[in-house]
Chain A
C-alpha cells in the first residue's frame, strides 16, 4: 500500500474492506461470459442517468409556465445541452433495455433460486422502479407527449375498481393535470425514486456478494468453476469497456437525432394522439383488447398477475434443476411473455 493509502487506512479502516471488495474471487464461467456484464452495465447507465440528471436540474424549471421553455433552452440554446439531454433521454431507454436483459439472464440461469430469493425480489422492484422513472420523467418537459401520456396513464390508474378515483387524484395531486401534478412527478423523479433505487441497488449488490454467483448451468461452466480471478480488474474492466461503448452509442444517437420535444402541452388540443414511450407501447396496445367493462382486466388483473408471478417465482420453482432446456414450464412462460411484448409493441408502432 502506498504511503498515502496507509495514511488513509490508519484513519478510516477502509483498506481491508476495499481490498476484500476488489479482490473478491470471481469464478471463470462468470468472468468469461459476457451475459454477466449486464448487471454492471445497468449500474453504469444508472450512474450516467444520475450524472446527466443532476446537470439537467441546473436548468430545468418545474413549473407549468417554465418547464417547456427551459427544456427547449437546454436542447437548443445551451452549449452541449443537446448532448446532456440526449444522453439522459436515450439513456432512459438503455436503462429499461439493460434492466430487462439482466433480469432475463437471471431468469434463464435460474439465479433466483434458494438462497437468492431476496436478490430476485429486489431485482423485480428495481425493474418496476426503472419503469416508474420513465413514466415520471417524460412528463417533465410539459410537452404534448408528456402531458397526454400522463393524462392517459393516470386515467388507467383511475379505472381500478373502488380506489381508482382516489388513486388517480393522488397521482395528479388534484382532479386535473396541472402544476401539482408536475411538481409531484418532479419530486418523485429526482428525489424519491433515485434515493429508493440507490438503496435497493446497495441491498442487491450486498446480496450478490453475500451469496456469491449462482452455480454454472453448463458442464463447461462447471469445469471453469474451480478457477477464480479477482473482481478487480478482471470483471470491472469488461464492464468499463462495455460502458464506454454504450456511452459512445448514446452520444452518437444524441448527435444524429436530437432528443424529441413536441409542441407545448395544450389541454384543449383535439388532434393530438397520445402515445407512450416505446417501452410502454405493448401495454398501450393490450388495453385496446379490453374495452368497456373489461378494462379492469388489463389495468388491474394482468399487471397484478405479472407482478405477482414474478414475486412468487422463486417460491414456486424450487427444484434443483437450473438448465432452461430441462425446465420447459418456466422457459415457455418466459418465451410467451417475450413474444407477446414484442408482437404487441410491433402492432402499436
Chain B
C-alpha cells in the first residue's frame, strides 16, 4: 500500500527527513520486488512439497484369492485379500474385497472389483436377485458387473486373473 501524503509530525517531536523521502518510491519498488520473489519462490517450493508423490500411479500387484477347489463353479463368491504394501513411509497390510465366479466349470474365473464405480462403496452380492447392489445410492449391477440402474458411470472393474497350481490369483 502506498501513501504518498505524510501527515506532518508534531514539531516537538521532529520533522520528516525530506532528503531521505526522495528515495521513497525506489525503496517501495525494492521492497515489493524482494517480497514478491521470496513469496513466489516459497509458495512454489511449498506447493511442490505438499503435492509430494500424490500423482504417482498406484503400483499393481498379484494377490492370492484361494484354491479354486473351494470356489464352486457357477456361484458368485466374495473373497477378501490382503498383502504387504508400502504406504508412503510405512509397510502395511493392504486389504480389499473382490467377487469371483466361473462359467466354464472352473477353467477360467471372472474377478470383479467390489468397489462401486459411482463413489467407491463396496457393492453386495444378492443371490436371490442375481445382482450386485450398492448400499450407498441403490446402484444395481448384473452378475457380470454391467450397470442395470442407478448413478454409476461405468461397469464394475474387471481384474486380470490366472490360476497357478490350483490357486486363483488376480492383479489389483
**Chain A residues packing against B (C-beta within 8 Å):** 1, 5, 18-19, 22-23, 25, 27-28, 31, 51, 55, 58-59, 61, 65-66, 69-70, 72-73, 77-81, 83-84, 225-230, 232-234, 236-237, 240-241, 243-244, 247
Contacts and interface: CB of A to CB of B under 8 A. Distances in A.
Given A18-B1, A226-B14, A226-B15, A233 B49 contact: no
Interface size class on chain B is 20 to 34
A25 B16 contact: yes
B50 interface: yes
Interface stretch (B23-31, B106-114, B119-127, B153-161): B23-31
Contacts of A228: 9, 13-17
B90 A241 contact: no
A230 B17 CA distance: 9
Given A61-B89, A228-B13, 13 more contacts: A23-B3, A25-B9, A27-B14, A28-B20, A66-B90, A73-B89, A78-B53, A83-B45, A226-B14, A227-B15, A227-B16, A230-B16, A240-B30
Contact of A247 (B1, B38, B46): B38
B52 interface: yes
B89 to A, nearest CB: 4
27 contacts: A19-B3, A22-B3, A25-B9, A25-B16, A27-B14, A28-B20, A51-B42, A58-B50, A58-B52, A78-B49, A79-B52, A80-B48, A227-B17, A228-B13, A228-B14, A228-B16, A229-B21, A233-B30, A234-B24, A237-B27, A237-B28, A237-B30, A240-B30, A244-B34, A244-B37, A244-B38, A247-B38
Nearest to A19: B3
B88 interface: yes
A23 B34 contact: no
B51 to A, nearest CB: 8
A58 B50 CA distance: 7
Contacts of B30: 233, 237, 240-241
A79 B55 CA distance: 12
Nearest to B14: A226
Interface of B: 1, 3, 6-7, 9, 13-17, 20-21, 24, 27-28, 30-31, 34-35, 37-38, 42, 45-46, 48-53, 88-90
Contacts of B13: 25, 228
A83 B46 CA distance: 10
A159 B121 CA distance: 56
B38 to A, nearest CB: 6
A227 B20 CA distance: 10
Given A226-B15, A227-B14, A236-B31, A69 B52 contact: no
A88 to B, nearest CB: 11
B89 A70 contact: yes
Contacts of A83: 45, 49
A300 to B, nearest CB: 41
Contact of A69 (B27, B38, B53, B89): B89
Contacts of A23: 3, 6-7
